[in-house]
Structure 1
Amino acid sequence: MKELKDKIAIVTGGNSGIGYATAKELVAQGATVIITGRRREAIEKAAAEIGALPFVADQAKIEDTALLFDEVKKQYGKVDILFVNAGITGVQLPIEQMTTENFDSVMGINFRGAYFTLSKFIPLLSDGASVVILSSIVASTYHANSSVYQASKAALNSIAKTAAAELAARNIRVNIVSPGPTKTEILSKSGLDEDSLQQLTRQLVLQIPLKRMGAAEDIAKWVVYLSGDSARFITGAEITMDGGLTL
């Protein structure tokens, strides 16, 4: 049974990783899914593979979000599921060496862009809609050289809980999913070379009680669960999915 039949869903950053896996699962559950991404070729290829609809948009650009809003409003008149997923780690640097360019890039996508994606789409959310914000366990950890990425996710958690309070009167639920180490392309974009990435992966697996990295599909299933009627009494919650790393 397709539980999300007739639902309109938006997934930002849907051409790879957790966004791609979630969009695929939403489509499988019967939803009409619009995925966004910055690269036309990548987003159109991903959409064709999973049966989603592509829209080229950079979450960091408010004007792109406005164009997305206008198109979805014109075509569908509502949004039932909003998964704010797009994000980057940026370059890992100590606070002393942080550049304004890296700070603005990470905060522009992870926080400012996510904030105004939610802000812009609130009028289009149907009563009873589901909003899921992709955060990370780093929002409550304080590792060296990750100050900006950690701060961007902590800020996301704060606005998600505030939005849950503000939108409860319309029965709109806002929840947070916070993965731990997950096998996605985002690690390869962090500036580390292949040897460093493999070493990091080995170190992480040793620390995880379940002794494995998360998979994008693991996260996707929880996002989809939170988007359905089975989770209709869940709002303002943060779901931690880290294999027990933060125990």
Structure 2
Amino acid sequence: MNLTNKTILITGGNSGIGYATAKVLTQKGNKVIITGRDRARLEKAGQELGVTTIPFDVTNAEDVTALVAKIKAEHSDLSVLINNAGVGKAYKLGENANAYDIAKEEFETNYFGPIRLTEALLPLLKQQSEAAIVNLASNVSIHPLVVLPTYSDSKAALHSHSIALRLTLATDTNIKVHEVFPSLISTEGTRALGLDNGLPADVAAGVIVSGIENNDNEIYVGDTAKQREAFLKDPETAISEFNKGLI
């Protein structure tokens, strides 16, 4: 896909991978729209990047309706949707872990949100000569991390959904469905979890944009390709190594 002179919507674009990807795509001559729940941070990011901003909570049905109406009215040439917004909580399963409530919040943002927004924007994306949906999965989509248990669940669900969506849309549309599988990326969110040795977000953004341009169904960032290869070769050993020192 030629990522120049396209209109692109990035959810959660006010920080991290979303912000870095918006920067790369803007530099390539695209019209980029970013969303975020924190209005002040969103406006700051928009000013820094020189992009359009729309306050938006992917878990809120009314926000979805309003966002889709605004996109149809003001950005009807939208051709790329990047479902980037995500949340995750570090904890371990067990008695009094509160796993249900944590999982509910994570699934609302990481799984149900992208499904609802994507479906609502499909009619508009179908009108374009070429279009793409990009879902931010994770290396934990392949195998779980015990300190991010229900986050891993939500990303595994998104991975499965993305495959079904890709196969379905390929039958009668020009919409490509890409999945991004980052390993550890250095963002405000990962640093808050005490994970400070990740790949820089701008490096990840470059890989993501190149993957979309190359029409790669699955875009592996950082160590994920090696982790996937190890899992396919020997799942039990790969999962054990992935969680070494954490159990």
Q: Is 1:93 matched with 2:88?
A: no
Once the two structures are TM-superposed, the CA of residue 189 in structure 1 deviates from its matched residue by 4.2
Q: Aligned residue for 2:66?
A: 67
Q: Do the aligned residues in 2 keep the contact of 1:60 with 1:108 (CA within 8 Å)?
A: yes
Asked whether the equivalents of residues 95 and 145 of structure 1 are also in contact (C-alpha less than 8 Å), the reply is no
Residue 169 of structure 2 aligns with an amino acid whose one-letter code is: L
The residue correspondences of 1:80-229 to structure 2 (distance < 5 A) are 80-96=79-95, 97-125=97-125, 126-168=128-170, 169-190=172-193, 197=194, 200-201=195-196, 213-228=198-213
Contact 2:180 2:208 in 1 (8 A): yes
Tell me the TM-score normalised to structure 2 length: 0.83
Question: 1:7·1:79 contact (CA, 8 Å) conserved in 2?
Answer: yes
Change (3 A) 1:145 1:227: closer
Aligned twin of 1:57:
56
Distance 1:119 1:18 in 2: 23
The Cα shift of 1:112 comes to 0.7
Matched AA of 1:163: L
Q: CA deviation at 1:136?
A: 0.5
List alignment gaps of at least 5 residues for structure 2. 231-247
How big is the shift at 1:53?
A: 0.5
Distance (whole Å) between structure 2 residues aligned to residue 113 and residue 186 of structure 1: 19
Question: 2:207·2:221 contact (CA, 8 Å) conserved in 1?
Answer: no
Could you tell me how far 1:10 is from its partner in structure 2? 0.2
Is this contact kept in 2: 1:137–1:178, CA < 8 A?
yes
Q: Shift in Å at residue 91 of structure 1?
A: 4.1
Q: Percent of pairs identical after alignment?
A: 32
Structure 1 residues 23 and 103: CA distance shift in structure 2, 3 A: same
Please tell me whether the aligned partners of residues 144 and 153 of structure 2 are also in contact (alpha carbons under 8 angstroms). Answer: no
Structure 1 CA distance, aligned partners of 2:192 and 2:108?
A: 16
Question: Which secondary structure does the structure 1 equivalent of 2:188 belong to?
Answer: coil
Q: Distance in 2 between matches of 1:135 and 1:143?
A: 14
Secondary structure (helix, strand or coil) at the match of 1:166 reads helix
Q: Deviations over 1:69-92 (max 9, x none)?
A: 110100121321111000011242
Matched residue SS, 2:203? helix
Q: Distance in 1 between matches of 2:42 and 2:138?
A: 24
Is the CA contact (8 Å cut-off) linking 2:8 and 2:78 kept in structure 1?
yes
CA RMSD of aligned residues (A): 1.8
Distance 2:145 2:48 in 1: 37
SS in structure 2 at match of 1:186: helix
Deviation string for 1:60-112 (max 9, x for gaps)?
A: 11221221111010012132111100001124231542343212111110111
The amino acid across from 2:122 in the alignment is I
Shift of 1:31: 0.8
SS at 2:220 equivalent:
strand
Other structure's SS at 1:145 match: coil
Report the residue type matching 2:206 in the other structure.
K
Could you tell me how far 1:240 is from its partner in structure 2? 1.9
**Residue-pair matches, total:** 222
Q: Cα offset for 1:174?
A: 0.3
Q: 1:42 to 1:144 in 2, by over 3 A?
A: same
Deviation at 1:165, TM superposition (A): 1.2
- Which one is further off, 127-136 or 21-30? 127-136
- Equivalent residues in 2 for 1:28-47 (5 A)? 28-47=27-46
In 2: Cα distance, 1:162 partner to 1:127 partner: 22
Say whether the 8 Å CA contact 1:163–1:174 is kept in structure 2: yes
Contact 2:178 2:212 in 1 (8 A): no
User: What SS is found at the alignment partner of 1:118?
Assistant: helix
Contact 1:95 1:147 in 2 (8 A): no
Tell me whether 93-102 or 117-126 shows the greater mean CA deviation.
93-102
TM-score, normalised with respect to structure 1: 0.83
Structure 1: stretches of 5+ with no match in the other structure: 191-196, 206-212
